[in-house]
Amino acid sequence: MEHDFVPTRQAGLDRLYAFAPDAGARYAAQRNFDSPEGVSQLSPYLRHRLLTEPEVIAAVRDIHGERDAEKFIQEVVWRSYFKGWLELRPSVWADYRLGLKAARDRIATEGGLRKGWEQACAGATGIDCFDHWARQLTGTGWLHNHARMWFASIWIFTLRLPWELGADFFLRHLLDGDPASNTCSWRWVGGLHTRGKHYVARAENIRRYTGGRFDPKGQLNETPDPLDGPPLPETRTLPDTPAPEPGLRTGLLLVEDDLTPDLPARDFAATATLSGAAHRSPLKVAPGVLDFTDAALADARDRLAPDATPLLDADALATWARENALEQIVTPYTPTGPARDLLEGSGLPVVPVLRDWDRAAWPHATAGFFKVKKQIPKLLSAV
């Protein structure tokens, strides 16, 4: 499959049905190779919930069964793990944003660091594999997961650039740029997610899983120490999500994090969509990311509420709520990230509705993936 990410639910379903026959043994054997042919490329659709985790898993399980589709199912559940992990520790997102500000201050004053950052973003480091992935990312908005891991490791340990700048580079350019998956993955590579355990890109591994296209022998730091950082914050419990109050004038707000909502039937006085894509970074977000998000929101309006008002920021949201005299705003639960920041900053009476899948998975993301992995049979019993 090519990188033709059409931002509609139907395009996501078409891609899912085309991939599902290969999601068993073939996926397990080929998933680590840096080729789009061995993986689903469903991440942009899952990130915006144009497709949902249960329906993707169900489509694959119906063909292969749970055992043969185990590797693919686990990959889908990793996304839920990272979502839950950050939701239980939202201060990690705030700390990342503060770290990014500090790193940006450094590149404004340290010429050598700025040059290294610019070369890395432009794909001009002289490390062929890294430069190829940088150009692929900025050109297509997508990278294979293994390439993302190699890239992050080289960024942190070989180029010695602040990890927050790398995470920001990804978040600005990935069509599937997800605050939880992206932040946690970069922290995991650096050794901050599971303290003391880092991911080291090795030339032989890159040579093997790129089919010999790249062999950066002698160019990589293959014996780095993990990054050091403050202790992890204590986990919180998930916030209460009370049902909407009956009898109040109610609006419906769709945010890019969930564009196939599972909401109770209700008459809404007004409906709107809100994009947080431009707020992913203090730097310029790639036009392809903004276009994909805008088109995905337009698809949601076409499917669910053709008269919905498109909104771009908190001021527009406040104006919409005021003009429609809304007493509460129902929205699919918006997890930690830029869109949540917009909602919380608005001061409006937002009523989030948490999906059953998230309610079942997220509370187990208190440590490593294993605790969530143990819950997979229970999660699948409800699919």
Taking only the tens place, the pLDDT of each residue in 230-246 is: 999 999 999 888 899 99
* Banded model confidence at residue 382, pLDDT cuts 50, 70, 90: confident
pLDDT score at 1: 45
Is 187 known as a binding-site position? no
Establish whether 369 is an annotated binding residue.
Answer: no
69 and 38 both lie in a single domain: yes
The answer to whether the annotation marks 82 as part of a ligand binding site is: yes
**Are 376 and 325 found together in one domain?**
no
157: Cα separation from own chain's centroid: 23
177 is in an annotated binding site: yes
To the question of whether residue 169 is assigned a binding role by annotation, the answer is no
pLDDT digits (tens, 9 = 90+) for 60-70: 999 999 999 99
**48 lies in the same domain as 130:** no
* Tokens found for residue 327: 């007493």
Q: 31 and 101 share a domain?
A: no
Same domain, 135 and 156: yes
Order the strands of the 328-332 sheet from edge to edge.
309-311, 270-274, 250-255, 328-332, 350-353
Q: Are residues 314 and 370 in the same domain?
A: no
Q: Which residues contact 70 (CB under 8 A, 6 or more apart)?
A: 28
Rg of the chain, C-alpha, whole Å: 21
Which residue among 183, 209, 235 closes a domain? 209
Q: Both 254 and 346 in a single domain?
A: yes
| 176 labeled binding residue | yes
Bridge partners for 6 per DSSP: none
Is position 43 within any domain? yes
Q: 82 lies in a domain?
A: yes
User: Is residue 227, in this structure, part of any structural domain at all?
Assistant: no
Residue of 233, 196, 222 lying closest to 94 (CA atoms): 233
Predicted pLDDT at 266? 81
Q: Are residues 99 and 203 in the same domain?
A: yes
CATH, residue 101: 1.10.579.10
Amino acid at 188: W
**Tens of pLDDT, residues 98-114:** 999 999 999 999 999 99
Say if residue 105 carries a ligand binding annotation: no
Q: How far is CA 263 from CA 22, 293, 353, in A?
A: 32, 21, 7
Q: Are residues 255 and 345 in the same domain?
A: yes
Residue 327 lies in a domain: yes
CATH number where 299 lies: 3.40.50.620
Boundaries of domain holding 156 = 94-209
321 token code pair = 């709520």
Domain for residue 274, yes or no?
yes
Whether 346 is in a domain gets the answer yes
- Taking 50 as the threshold, does the pLDDT of residue 351 lie above it? yes
Would you say 84 is a known binding-site residue?
no
Model pLDDT for residues 131-186, shown as the tens digit of each residue: 999 999 999 999 999 999 999 999 999 999 999 999 999 999 999 999 999 999 99
Number of structural domains found in the chain: 3
Q: pLDDT tens digits, residue range 259-310?
A: 999 887 788 999 999 999 999 999 999 999 999 999 999 999 999 999 999 9
**27 is known to lie in a ligand binding site:** yes
**Mean pLDDT value across residues 5-29:** 97
Q: Judge whether residue 3 has pLDDT over 70.
A: no
Whether the pLDDT of residue 2 is over 60: the answer is no
What value does the mean pLDDT of the chain take?
96
Q: Are 90 and 124 in contact (CB under 8 A)?
A: no
Q: Does residue 243 lie in a domain region?
A: no
Shared domain for 113 and 64, answered yes or no, is no
User: Is residue 101 domain-shared with residue 196, that is, in the same domain?
Assistant: yes
Q: Is residue 74 part of a domain?
A: yes
CATH value at residue 40: 1.25.40.80
The answer to whether the annotation marks 77 as part of a ligand binding site is yes
Contacts of 57 (CB under 8 A, 6+ apart): 69, 73, 76, 380, 383
Does 383 carry a binding-site annotation? no
In this prediction, residue 21 carries a pLDDT of: 98
